[in-house]
Amino acid sequence: MATTTTPYWQLEKEYYTIVDNADVALRIIEHSAITTTENGFPLTVKTPTKLHEFKLHRATLSQASSFFGQLLNRTPDTFAEATSDQNVIDVAEDDGAPSVHALALWFKIVHDKAGLDTHELSIEGVWRAVSVAQKYGFSTASGSATAWFGAWYATLPNLVKAGYKHYTMLLYPAFVFGHRAAFAQATKYLVYHNTGGNIPDHQPREFVVEPPANAAALHMPQHVMHQINAARARLKTILHRALYTPVDRLLKEARCSCAPTVLYNYESSLARTGVWPLESKLISDSIISTIHDLRAYDGKQWHIQTCGNPACTFDFDKIVVIAREEIGNYFTGLCLDCMTASKGHDADGKYWSHSKPGVNWDEGCAVNHGQASWYFSFMGPREDMMEWAKAPKAKPLKDRREMHADGNTQTRANVAHHGHGHPQRGGDGHKQAVHPFRSQEYHEPGQNGNFDQEQVESHQQLCEGQPKFSQTKEYHQYPQSFGRREPGQYYQRRGRGGYYNDNFFAPSRYGKRRGSGRSMMTRDVRYETNAESSGEHEDESKSKESIPNTDEEPAQCKKPEHTAAEKEPAPIKVPEIQVEVAELKASGDGQQAEV
């Protein structure tokens, strides 16, 4: 692609008047690849073959295209090849006639002159238009571009009979032009009709035979294709779970003599339809084909008189109907609105707020969809979605206080450190400085949340001479089990993965140290001592000594005699655990974790 002012009087010429008030003539020099022989070797050279002259409006074209904006506004001061006559400009197009026709389409689109004839364009022509848009800087997200693609998509059923291969070619143009309905329809069709293996995005055959220079860059983003393939794997998991649940219940709960017959009849009836075993079925077949096969299922003839146990007494047909309906209505395609909202800076308000109780999953979206489409349309950090999947759902944040029999409210100890709902916020709502490597000592609160200094002093006098361990009793009272707590000792714990402020999920990356599975208050400080204030720590062997029970008699808190055995305690022997590792066999489809 280059600019030139050389006259091409000997070339074939074709003229186009896009607008009546044209003030610039743009001449596109079509180049074709011509192969010649030089010194006995074939040589392919791009040779000018035809001249296309377009009458256009300068200001409109300059605003619509970054390339032509710089080209049309050049002056002899900024461009050496510029001439005094700026009303006729030559541009060499190296990608041949298809790209010239696509360029003519864009001239009509930006001037709002795209007629009905442009709606009959083939899918290969749409790919050429996408290639030209990226080459010359046309915006596929502009209002005129999306309106044209919407009109073309509306007339598409009259042009071709859509099939699996057609939707693989429609996927990328629908994504680039931002057509919500077309993209959702294409992704849904590919997920339900894929016959094993990964779902691809294909380029048209004509586009591959004569590719433009930027053909290698015209593909769907890999993370989007990963989500589409993950949706199909999820469908397979749900269908298998729905059909296998009766089998699992029979094997685990039924102990009667009729259970083997019921199990055989149920699996045999499924095998007669060809969908069982499901893994073998979906290796070379699609989800939609499996749904059609299940419609022909008839389990009444396989029923027998059972003992009445709920584990072996169930309706075969009802199980299959529920599974078929659940899988058929599960996924409605990816949502471009959710995809855009999930990767923006305001994802909390536009994407995560959809998980708030009472809010629809498709709130503010152009297409109707459910939770599955919302989930697989996530394009943000994968860690945030995994945290949401593991976290408890729709549980309001409870008041972290306890009312005692005497009517006084005793605040939990760590609320004074961190407050409610956030790991590093105090009760007044302001952040408090928490040293990341300093132990957070536990203090037994008195009534009304005040610390009883007399209790602390009496405890120190009672156990004078004992090793001064950090008083985080959750870990130190029982070193072998740090999840056990004494009555009256409480710790603020957030839900797994995030916090539930205002009853909706917020990823923990807004207050959690990345890579840590515990909040600041629940980190492992089992081996820390009070000597840390002076920078000294006891040996690891001493930190593992049993902690005296302060609830026992004072006689047990006497200063111990240091013997040689205590100074050099015997190492703790950890029993060896033998683990049998089963041989894993890779399947055709990767397993997808359940939402």
Mean pLDDT per 10-residue section of the chain, whose length is 595 residues: 55 86 87 76 79 90 90 64 65 85 93 88 92 93 93 82 86 94 94 87 87 90 93 92 88 82 86 86 88 84 74 83 89 93 82 86 90 92 84 47 39 34 36 34 38 45 45 37 43 44 47 40 39 43 44 46 46 37 36 39
CB 312 within 8 A of CB 254: yes
Q: Which of 119, 140, 159 is the last residue of a domain?
A: 159
pTM of the model: 0.63
Q: Label each residue of 126-182 as H, E or C.
A: HHHHHHHHHHHCECCCCHHHHHHHHHHHHCHHHHCCCCHHHHHHHHHHHHHHCCHHH
pLDDT, residue 173, reads 94
Q: Are residues 95 and 112 in the same domain?
A: yes
Q: Are residues 463 and 360 in the same domain?
A: no
pLDDT, residue 225, reads 94
Taking the C-alpha atoms of 538, 542, 545 and 548 in order, what is their torsion angle to the nearest 10 degrees? -50
pLDDT, residue 169, reads 92
Q: Are residues 371 and 488 in the same domain?
A: no
Q: Are residues 126 and 242 in the same domain?
A: no
pLDDT, residue 79, reads 53
pLDDT, residue 78, reads 55
Q: Are residues 50 and 136 in the same domain?
A: yes
What domain range is 242 assigned to?
Answer: 225-328
Whole-angstrom Cα distance, residue 49 to residue 29? 8
Q: Are residues 261 and 120 in the same domain?
A: no
Q: Are residues 541 and 440 in the same domain?
A: yes
- Residue 347 belongs to a domain: yes
pLDDT, residue 265, reads 86
- Residue 112 belongs to a domain: yes
Helix count and strand count (H, E) for the chain: 23, 9
Whole-angstrom Cα distance, residue 329 to residue 230? 17
CB 307 within 8 A of CB 258: yes
CATH of the domain at 10: 3.30.710
- Residue 287 belongs to a domain: yes
- Residue 563 belongs to a domain: no
Q: Are residues 282 and 240 in the same domain?
A: yes
- Residue 311 belongs to a domain: yes
- Residue 202 belongs to a domain: no
Per DSSP (E only), the strands in 400-541 are 401-403, 409-411, 498-501, 504-507
Q: Are residues 278 and 408 in the same domain?
A: no
Q: Are residues 359 and 461 in the same domain?
A: no
CB 482 within 8 A of CB 508: no
Q: Are residues 362 and 437 in the same domain?
A: no
Give the chain's domain count. 4
Q: Which of 103, 133, 159 is the last residue of a domain?
A: 159
CB 23 within 8 A of CB 84: no
- Residue 486 belongs to a domain: yes
Q: Are residues 361 and 442 in the same domain?
A: no
- Residue 584 belongs to a domain: no
